[in-house]
Structure formats: structure tokens, C-alpha cells
Amino acid sequence: MYGHGTMPCRRGGVAHFIGRAKSAISLVAGLLAAFSLMAGAVQAATPLERFLPKVAPADLMPGADAFGPVEGEPPAVEILKEGRRVGFAFLNSDFVNAAGYSGKPIHVLVGLDLEARITGARLVDHSEPIVLVGIPEKKIRDVIDGYAGFDVAAFVRAKGAEHDVDIVSGATVTVMVIDDSILRAAIKVARRYALGGLPPAARVVAGPRFEVDPTVDQAVDWETLLGEGAVRRLRLSVEDANRLFAESGDAEAAARREPGGPDDEYIDLYAAVVSIPSIGRSLLGEGEYRNLLKALKPDQAAILLAASGRYSFKGSGYVRGGIFDRFQVIQGDDSIRFRDKNHKRLGRVTADGAPKLTEVDLFYLPPDAAFDPAVEWRLELLLTRETGPTRKAYQTVDLVYKPPQKYLRQIAAAEPPATTPGLEEGPPLWQRLWRDKVPETGVLVAALGVLTLIFFFQDWLARRPRLTEWVRNGFLLFTLFGIGFYANAQLSVVNVMTFFNALVHDFRWDYFLMEPLIFILWSSVTAQLLFWGRGAFCGWLCPFGAMQELLNKLAKRLRVPQVRVPWALHQRLWPVKYMLFLVLFGLSLYSLAFAEQMAEVEPFKTAIVLKFAREWPFVLFAVALLGAGLFIERFYCRYLCPLGAALAIPGRLRMFDWLLRYRECGHPCQRCSNECMVGAIHPEGQINPNECLYCLNCQTLYHDDRRCPVMIQRRLKRERREAQASKILPTSKAKEKESALELVDFLPE
């Protein structure tokens, strides 16, 4: 009975267990499904859906109380008041290119009523470095608040009308991008919904359509080009410029007149579409025109801008990789600005009879720009005038360009309109950026190859101290001026935080491939960590580190006294940089934008990227760190650099120990420890790889039989044997042996 009684119980227990397991599995499956749906919903959310909860309906339209559903492509949303539609809300970056100085979009939510009037606008997200640190964000928000009440319909109907925008000094590009993107996006939304009576399809051209005729391909002279309108001209005298600012209503701008005679040349500007064969061949010459054809992608256009006079259409304020902020191309409802990568400086205009011009520049229209070279466009030129230490006044003038009919041919009515291929139809953006940087990437890869050879053959090099010094100083100069000041390829702890943030949220390789030089440097640093630790980058490839070391070498030549930090204090100071990194890393998990602001503990942006062109607190901080480095070699690298700490942590995984040491190092000899520029060698003789910058100084000492006590003794023994073999022992050698035994400077105290 006992056995029979237990069987049902056991079967029931198994059934009960299976039932609970099934329930658990169902629960887990349900949770996974729910998480999948949630993840899918988050991933599918449009930027408008992400940013819309940040504002209330009344922020975009006074009196509104709700938003309707997101609809359309690009998306927009109805603004409701008591259940009745009173307007639309949209994100500027969904409709137009709103990339600012950072290369990332400046996101502004805009409200538009049924009469096509802007009723409100809110800045919801941006990555502009000049606003994140430097210029108060309130100034930018005040500019955006000023769009309330702007009549978009009236602006469109008043062809050629200009919108006065309050430029924030120091953030010209940022404000101009915001202004342009808000207006262009608002026009597109107003046309889509026929707000304010605006008709749709603003880019449709009435009547016959034309395209560039490639069969008309013959060079002509300058006077012919001017006469037929293939080259358009805008000339302003000094009096013209003074009159424009006098009419602006800015009393200070009117009072600060441009000096010179009224007929003196202020700017004499010429524009032409050089992707039209005859025009390009005439202005560029055969060789440069062939180069242009190789560089242009299908359906891509290029324009030539050339000028003389005291006012530059390019200016000198743009930095490499930045935006030209003094002009833009406008065609229909689209505007196009040019970055440095879309620009090529030329020596002259080659057309017969062309005047000598001081600025001759070729600009490639971005492949994704909706630009039709057969349709009229205008160049909007921004004139600036300083009205105070931190204030400027602005005026705009237009140069209208309409291609001559002789270079065009009519498109048959049955032929579908030509379209400019979108980004998805051509190669990805990062591939185009890499093609634009082929020379720079080639030089950088070659330099990394040289550095790899230096490390692999370091023993051969270290036996030649003078050559080692020349090689190191030369490489540091290349790092500072080539990688740093020219290419702006200064790595930062912000890159580390961004990478980990991408791993947690939405990792995409193409985002990191957007900066070819930065990507190559990070790839090389990752490989170098396995071989040589952080020293390869910190000691050789960091522009700010190179600046510190070169300045310290100069200070030593000028006999600036050097401060030797006691070992006990030194040991307690170097963990500071690890604490700074951990704080920044923790902040990045909470808010990457806030962590980027706190990353200003790095002076890299001030000293290298912006070349000290910043507000005085940032400049003072960078100069103070460089000043400390004059007395304590590589002061910032030793104690404060969070990037160095970030690299030191994975650097402990290195697979090889390439730095040679003697048994006597530290027992009793202290020469390497005393001469290490960053104090990476312990008094006991071992090298701390977390702090070593791989300068190779200890390796030159290792092989030097005039400075290293171990090598001196070996040399003396060798010379003694040679002397005994020849029965000669010079007294000078005996004295040298005696001096070698008195190396008290290198013994522990």
C-alpha cells in the first residue's frame, strides 16, 4: 500500500512541477514579447515623437491644450484647442538639413497656425560645442523665441524678402542654421497643408523644363562669359556698404563707416556654375576641369566664386571642417551651406581676359542637395561690421544667377522630371567623407607605420641617443602641427564616453566612421594598447601632450628650474586622473550632454581644436596647465588627464613587455628613476606601465656605456681585458674606473 500510495503522489508532483514550469516559461515569454514590443516601439519612434513630450501644446501655440496623432512623412502633428485643430507642430530637422557647427542637427519644435504664422518655437536638443560651453544657451533660446508671430505666407509671397535675425556674436553659424531651418521647414509644412493660402509644390517650374546640354562644350573668353550671363557679378563700393548699414537702423553700425573713398572697392564678386561644360572649361582650364569631372558624382553640380576687394566672402573665422558662414546658395525653398570639405582653393581664373582676383574658390554642391544647375538660384552674401568688443551688425545682399539658355536644352514633356538621388541611392555619407580625406588619411597611416617601426626596432634606435632625440622631436612636431592644429584630430575622453553610450543605446558603426582621422587614430590606439599600453598614444600621438613636452624642452634650454615632486606625493597625485575619469564616466551614464560639459577639464578643445580662440576662463585654464608643465614635465599627463586614465585601464591587458631592465635597476642604481619625465619608474626599479609614456629615455640609458653604471662597468672590464692583452693599462682608464664607482648621484638616499 505504501508503494502504491506514493506513485500517484509522485506523478502529481511531476505534473505540478511541469505545470509551474509551463507557467514560468509563459511568463518569461510574455515578458520577452512585451520587452520586444517596447524596444520596437522605442526604435520605431520618430524624432518628433521623442521630442514632443518635452513641450506642452501651449508652448507652441498659446491656448492650445492637446496634440493630435503624428502623421505624414516627414511627420507633423495637429495642435488642438478644445478638440478643434488650430495648427500644426513639426520638427525643423525632419524637413530640412539642420546640421550645425557640430555636424549634428539642431532640433527645434515649431508651431504653425492655419494662417501660416509661427506661434511658438522651442529648442529641444543640440550638440553645438559653442553653446554647450561658452555662450549661454539662453541667448540662443531668446533668438528662437523671437519667431513667434512671423508670417510665413507673407514671407513667401514677398519674393526676395529678407528676414532679419539677431545674430549672437560667436555663434553666427549656429544662429544662421536655426534661422534658415525654421523658415525653410515652416514653408514646406505650410505648402503641404495649404496654410495661409500657399499652393503646394513650390519647386515645380511652370512651362517647359530644361537641363544642362552636355554637347555645348567650347571654351570662351571672359568678356563673352560676362556678356551672356554665364558669369554673374556683384560689385559693392565702400559707399554702397556704408549705405546698407546706414539703412539697417543700427545707429552704431551706421556710425562706424568703412574708411576710404566712396568709389573704393569693397567687394567685387563673381559666380558661375562650372559643372556646365563650356563655363567650367573656360574658367578652370583643361587640367582643373578634368579634375572636376573626376570629383563630381552623377547629377552633382559645382560653382565657382571669385572676388577681390577688402571684404572677403569666405572670411577667416571658419575653422577646418567648419561651415562658411558668410554666404549660402538658395534655390526655391532650399538653402545650401558649404563646409570646408566641399571647398577647393584655386589660384586663378583661366579664361582669357579675366581680371586678377584675390579669392578664387571652387565649391561642390553636396550630393544630397536638391540643386538643379538649369534653374535660377541666388547667392546670399552676409556683410558684417563690428559695432563693439562683442557685437556685430549684419546685412545681406543677393547675387542672382540664371544659366544662359544657350547652355541648356528642353526636356520633352513626356520625360519624367530629373531627380537628385537621395543619400540612400548613393554611397553612405561616411564613405563620401573618407573619399574627401584620402590625402590626410594617407599621411596619418604612413605616420602610424613609422611609429610602429620605431617601437619594433626600438633597441636599434635606442643605441643611438642623438638619432632617438631627433626622431622623437620630429614626431612630436608632426603630432602637434599635423595631427593637432591642421587636422584637429585630438582624441578626447568624450570619444570614450560616446562609444560606451552608443553600446548601451544604439550602436552604429557609420556614426564613428564619420570622422576618418579620429577613427584611424582610435583603431591604432586600440591595437597599440595590446602591445605597448597607453604610452604609444599619450607619449607620441597626443597633440596636447606634444605641446607640453616641446614647451618643457624649450624651458629647460632657457634654464627654467625644474621641480622634482617627492615620490610619496607623486604616488598620491597620479590617482587623481583616474578619479576624474570615473566621475565623468558615471555622469555620462546619467547624461552624456552634461558629461561633455564637465569634460572641459580637458584643455584639448581650447588649445588644439579652437587654438585658444575662446572665452578667457578656458584660455586661462589651458595656459595655467601649460605653465605648470614648464616646471613639472608633462604635469597634466601625470596627474589630471582623464583620457590617459581611460587608456591606462585596458592598457593593463598588454601582451608584451618591451622595455628592458637590469637586475641592478633600483638596487642600487636610480638613474632611470630620476630621469623619467613622468615618474613612471619606481625607486625599486620596475616600470609602472599605467604611467609610462614610452619616451624611450630609459632605453637609451640602458644601452649607454657612458651614463648607465651597469654599462660603464661592462665597458671598463672590456677595456681592461683589451689593455691586459696588449700589456698596456693607461692611468686614465684606472681613474675612469674609480669615478664609475663613485656614482653616488644614482644611489638611493
Burial class (CB in 10 A: 0-12, 13-18, 19+), 564: exposed
Task: Give dist(CA 492, CA 542) in Å, integer.
Answer: 10
Say if residues 345 and 361 touch (Cβ distance below 8 Å).
yes
Burial class (CB in 10 A: 0-12, 13-18, 19+), 605: buried
Say if residues 123 and 136 touch (Cβ distance below 8 Å).
no
Q: Which residues pair with 66 in a beta bridge?
A: 80
Q: Whose CA is closest to 601, among 645, 551, 546, 566? A: 645
689: helix, strand or coil: coil
Task: Give dist(CA 230, CA 403) in Å, integer.
Answer: 6
Task: Give dist(CA 412, CA 231) in Å, integer.
Answer: 27
Per-residue pLDDT tens over the stretch 501-557: 767 655 656 556 767 888 899 889 888 888 888 888 999 999 999 999 999 999 999
Residue 741's pLDDT is 45
Residue 576 in grid coordinates:
587623481
Q: Which residues pair with 386 in a beta bridge?
A: 392
**DSSP E strand boundaries for 619-659:** none
Q: How far apart are the first and last CA of the chain?
A: 91
Q: How big, in percent rounded to 5, are the helix, strand and coil portions of the chain? A: 50, 15, 35
Residue 426's pLDDT is 40
User: Which residue, chain included where needed, has cell 555645348?
Assistant: 216
Count CB-CB contacts under 10 A for residue 311.
21
Over the range 631-663, which residues count as b (16 or more CB within 10 Å of their CB) and which as e?
Answer: ebbbbbbbbbbbbbbbbbeebeebeeeebebee
Q: Can you list the pairs that 253-262 forms with residues at least 24 positions away whose Cβ atoms lie under 8 Å?
A: 253/385, 253/387, 253/393, 256/385, 256/386, 256/387, 258/310, 258/385, 260/310, 262/237, 262/238
Task: Give dist(CA 29, CA 12) in Å, integer.
Answer: 25
Residue 62's pLDDT is 92
Half-sphere exposure of 425 (CA within 13 A, CB side): 9
Count CB-CB contacts under 10 A for residue 394.
20
Phi, psi of 430 (to 5 degrees): -65, -30
Per-residue pLDDT tens over the stretch 449-507: 999 999 999 889 989 999 999 999 999 999 999 999 888 888 888 878 877 776 765 56
Residue 670's pLDDT is 84
Q: Whose CA is closest to 318, among 220, 172, 463? A: 172
Phi, psi of 382 (to 5 degrees): -95, 120
Positions of the chain with pLDDT under 70: 1-45, 99-104, 127-137, 159-174, 200-207, 316-322, 333, 368, 389-390, 412-430, 432-433, 502, 504-512, 514, 592-593, 727-749
Residue 232's pLDDT is 94
Task: Give dist(CA 305, CA 290) in Å, integer.
Answer: 18
Q: Whose CA is closest to 168, among 139, 133, 129? A: 139
Say if residues 590 and 584 touch (Cβ distance below 8 Å).
no
